Structures are given as structure tokens and as C-alpha cells.
Chains A and B, each alone.
Chain A
């Protein structure tokens, strides 16, 4: 991903810098990409998000907890699968921030 940027001989450092924020799970539970089975995912790779947008749901003790984005940016990686058990601190998303 960085290679093309290098080859383009950037005019200033800001083009090369990539601010990557990793969203980690704040709770223990089961990770879901959408609000219910069959409905569209909250976000996909490439989605643009704003601070406060819902990224996913983590279910714990039958309660659905919405995990909100703390950043503006673009989803560049999703580390977990729909329905996967996650622990505290587990990496969920990588967001390239502006």
C-alpha cells in the first residue's frame, strides 16, 4: 500500500504519513457486523466513517452493545469475522484517519 505512494515521489511528508487508528474491543462478547442477521453490515473495508458512527455490535449477556467510532476516516482493515468471540482489547478495525 505504501509502495505506490513512494514511487510517486511525494511533494511533502503529509502524503506519505498514514495515521492508523486501531479500534479494540472494550468488552468481552460476540462480534456482529450488522444489527441483525441478514441486514447490511454497518461498515465494510473502504467505508468512510465519522466520529460517532456505529461500527459493529458486540453482544454480551444477551445485551447488544453498539461500538461507535472515535475517529473520522476510512475503514482499511477488519480483523474479526461475523459471529466471532472477542476478548477485551481484541483488535476489531483499522481506520485510516485524516
Chain B
């Protein structure tokens, strides 16, 4: 009988070896920027590789680093987990302060571990109120707001904001709310009406609902992230999710505009073609260099792979039953941004302030990785565009959110332009909104 035990032990040993064998991480991540990313073979783990950046915050004199020709300054500090920024036509800036609804049920022991890990790398408005919108007004054009008011309070994990005429829409995690807005208002106390309910609880894994109006203002597009990493809560939990909805502004009726987008954020209209673009957080736990997060134009009716496949027809073995019909139709995204950088913000430079090299291109806020041995993201990158398409490699625009010890001072989330054309960056764990302008000093030297 002892030999039977030995055989079993050998079998188990072989199985364990097969489980833990992992390639060293000497992959050139620059090959994953652009339209044709290199995709290494997928790996699965006993412990997925993890590297967390502990949050240390900013001291009063510290700022991120701007690329040559740019200058960065704090626009507002002491906020409560700012996730998103939006500029009103009169130049007032809305800062959406928001925290997770924390509705993920503990379905298995892993959930407990993951919640604990998450608590290490996000302040998540801990202790503070958050879930409100703060208005910032720079009435003298000094680049520093002189008025700060609570614009809308008591929201439910809000993220997206869109104004069409006098109709202000706020995307809470579970509904698009409509508020009447008059130019110059510094607070809204009117009760909102619900334009369209959105998938919120009972599970609400990817909870940020990004929002943008189409150019004529007749439709709203809203990003609805998946309810899991890779459908491990079952496909029943994914109804209406991992998709961008098109909402009719007049009636509130909605349809799925595009699907298979795991966690689409930063919805933005490309200025030249008026196409809808988004940045997408791809799936985890297939390796440090899988799957690249991406930005893409969004085609009406398009399917982008999740959960069945990634970057076109690369099958994810974790999903059963598979859907070969959908996989065959899966669209390859336009532009990879590297793996696990967690893009959450996207804005096209349509202003006249920043240096001309940025004109028409896209700034992407990369919140930063946890699911790889070395940190990736934690910066704002710039992707040049021409003729409505990315044209060239992503460049670092704003870095220095990490210190050299691997601590996070802050993490960039959504980005937008202010009325002057400066880039605004919401920094959630840094509780700051940053403002990026041309560095006149260095321009004078040119």
C-alpha cells in the first residue's frame, strides 16, 4: 500500500510543479503599446503575482512630475476621494468625490482576502463623507479656485457627469440622475429624477459609471463595467454589464450600444470623427503581461471579447461554456496601453492652451497595477492622434505618482480639460485635483 501512497504523492508532486512553473518576468512591456500588442502565453497561478503600492499621500510641497514643456500644480487639495472631474460651460469645475458601494458579497474565502488587499491600496474616502460633487470656481482666472462649495451631496457612488443645455446628468452607480441646472449655480438642492436605472447591486463589482453625451445631445453613452474578473459570479450576474449603453435622453430608454468591454471608462467623443472612444480595464490573473488594457473606438453593435476572448480571438480558458459565435465576431481593440495599467480617464486635447504637439491627441489617466510583480501605470500618458486614429507611441505626460520606494503619493483617475484648456487630473488617494498648463519658462527658452 505504501507504493500506492508514493505513486499518489508523485502524481500530486507533478501536478503541483505544473501549477507553480512560471516564466521569469523579462518581457518588454513597450511591445504592448499600440495597435498590435505582443501577447505572451497565458499562465495560471496558485498565487497570482501581486505588487501593491502603499498609499502615503502628498506633503504640501510635493507634486507629480510633468513632461518637458508642461507644468503641474495642485488645483484643489483636501478632497474626499475625487474620482472624476467635469468642466461646466462657465468654467466652474465639478469634482466627483466617490467611494465604492462595497457591495461585493463574500461568495468564497478569496473574496475576504481580496477585500483586505484592496483596503491596503485605496483610501476609498475612508472615514470621510465622499459621495458628493464639489464645485470649484476660479473667478479671477488665476489658475487657483477661490470658491469651493458642495454642489450636490448624498449621491450613491457617482462617477460620470454630463451637461446638455440646462439638464445635468450624474451617473450614480445604480442610475442616471437628472438635475435641473442654471448657469452660475454653486449648489443644487433640487431632488433628482431618475432618467435610467443602471445595474448596481446586489453585486456591484466594477461600479464606476462613465458618462458622455453625443455631439447633438440626443443620446447619452454610459459605461457599465462587469460584475467580476472573468464571470466567476456566473453570467446571470453580467446581464447588461461589460457594455456601453446608449440612453435616449428624451425617454430614458436604453439599448446595448457595444458589449464585451470588461470595464469601460473615460467615455469621450473624438473631436475629428465624432466617434465614441473608451479606455478599458482588461482581465486579471493570466500573467503580468496579460491582458493589455486598451483604448478603442466603439462600434455600434460591436463585441470586444469579454469574457470569452481577448484581443480578438484569444480564448480565455476560464470561461465555460464558451461562445464560438461571439468569439468569431470579437473586434480587436484599436490601441493597447500595456497590461494592468488600469486606465480610468480619457480626454482629447481640444483646447488651445497646451503645446501644439498635444493638439487633438488623448490623455489617459492610468490608476496603476496590482496584478503584476512590478508596478505599471500610476501616470497620465499621452497618445498622439491624427485623422481620428492613434498615431504613435504613448508618451509619459505626468509621472511621479510613485516614489522610488514604490509608495503611491497619489493615483490618477479621470482627466478633463478646464475652460482655459488646461488638463485637470482627479487623484483619488491623493485627495487632490491637479492642473497641468504649459511651462512658460521652458517655452521662453525655446
Q: Do A and B bind each other?
A: no
Binding site for A on B (CB under 8 A): none
Chain A interfacial positions (CB closer than 8 Å to B):
none
